[in-house]
Chains A and B, each alone.
Chain A
Amino acid sequence: MTTESGVPEELHYTESHEWVRVEGDLVTVGITDHAQAELTDVVFVDLPAVGKEGRPKQPIMVLESVKTVADIYAPIEGKISEVNTELKAHPELVNKDPYGKGWLYKLRATGKPDISSLLDAARYRAHVAKGGH
Chain B
Amino acid sequence: MSGVLPAFVSDEKAPPIRTTPLHALHVAAEGHMVPFGGWEMPLYYTATGILGEHRAVREGVGLFDVSHMGIVSIEGKGSAALLARRTPANALTTAPGRCRYSFFLDADARMIDDLIFTRLDEEAEPTSFLFVPNAGTTPRVLEVILQHRPEGCQVVRHNGEMAIIAVQGPKSRQLLEATYGWDLGLRPYTGGYYRFGEKGPRHFGKGFASRILNNGEAFVSRTGYTGELGYEVFVSAARSVELWRELVGKGAVPCGLGARDTLRMEKGFLLSGVDFHRDRTPVEAMMDRFLDLDHPFVGRDVLEKQRNEGRYARWTGILTDDPSVIPRHGSPILHDGTPVATVSSGCLSPTLHQGIALAYLPAELSTSGTRLEIEVRGRRTGAKVVPLPFVPNAPSPSAGPKPVHVP
Contacts and interface: CB of A to CB of B under 8 A. Distances in A.
A40 B377 CA distance: 20
Contact of B5 (A2, A17, A46, A66): A17
A86 to B, nearest CB: 17
A2 B32 CA distance: 12
Interface in B249-266: 258, 261-262
B358 interface: no
Interface string B16-38: 00000000000000001000000
A57 B326 contact: no
9 contacts: A1-B48, A1-B52, A38-B4, A43-B51, A43-B348, A64-B326, A66-B347, A67-B258, A70-B5
B258 A69 contact: no
B306 to A, nearest CB: 33
A40 B348 CA distance: 13
Contacts of A31: 4
Interface string A19-51: 000000000000100010111110110100000
A63 interface: yes
B41 to A, nearest CB: 14
Interface string A53-78: 00001000011101111111100000
Tell me if B's interface is mostly helix, strand, loop or mixed. Answer: loop
Contacts of A2: 46-47
A33 to B, nearest CB: 10
Nearest to B347: A66
A41 B3 contact: no
Contacts of A63: 4
B93 interface: no
B196 interface: no
Given A40-B43, A43-B348, A46-B324, A67 B4 contact: no
A66 B262 contact: yes
A37 B328 contact: no
**Shortest beta-carbon contacts, A-B, top 6:** A16-B3, A1-B49, A68-B6, A70-B4, A35-B4, A133-B5
A28 B84 CA distance: 63
Contacts of A82: none
Given A64-B326, A66-B51, A38 B348 contact: no
Contact of B326 (A38, A43, A92): A43
A72 B323 CA distance: 20
A37 B324 contact: no
B44 interface: yes
B399 interface: no
A70 B261 CA distance: 19
Nearest to A39: B4
Interface of B: 1-8, 32, 43-44, 46-52, 258, 261-262, 323-324, 326, 328, 347-348, 350, 376-377
Given A66-B258, A133-B7, 7 more contacts: A1-B44, A43-B326, A44-B324, A66-B51, A66-B262, A68-B6, A92-B51
A16 B4 CA distance: 6
A interface, how many residues as a size bin?
A: 20 to 34
A69 B328 contact: yes
B333 to A, nearest CB: 17
Contacts of B52: 1
Nearest to A31: B4
Contacts of A40: 32, 43-44, 49-50, 258
A52 to B, nearest CB: 16
Contacts of A46: 324
Given A17-B5, A62-B377, A69 B326 contact: yes
A69 B355 CA distance: 14
A41 B256 CA distance: 13
A31 B46 CA distance: 17
Contact of B50 (A15, A66, A72): A66
Given A15-B1, A16-B3, A44-B324, A95 B348 contact: no
Contact of B51 (A17, A41, A62, A133): A41
B32 to A, nearest CB: 6
Nearest to B259: A66
Contacts of A92: 51
Which of B4, B326, B348 is most buried by chain A, counting CB atoms within 10 A of its CB? Answer: B4
Which of B44, B48, B49, B376 is most buried by chain A, counting CB atoms within 10 A of its CB? Answer: B49
B276 to A, nearest CB: 20
Contact of A69 (B32, B46, B350, B377): B377
A130 B221 CA distance: 43
Nearest to B376: A69
A35 B4 CA distance: 6
Contacts of A17: 3-5
A101 B263 CA distance: 29
A95 B4 contact: no
Nearest to A35: B4
B224 to A, nearest CB: 20
Given A66-B51, A69-B377, A44 B3 contact: no
Contacts of A38: 4-6, 32
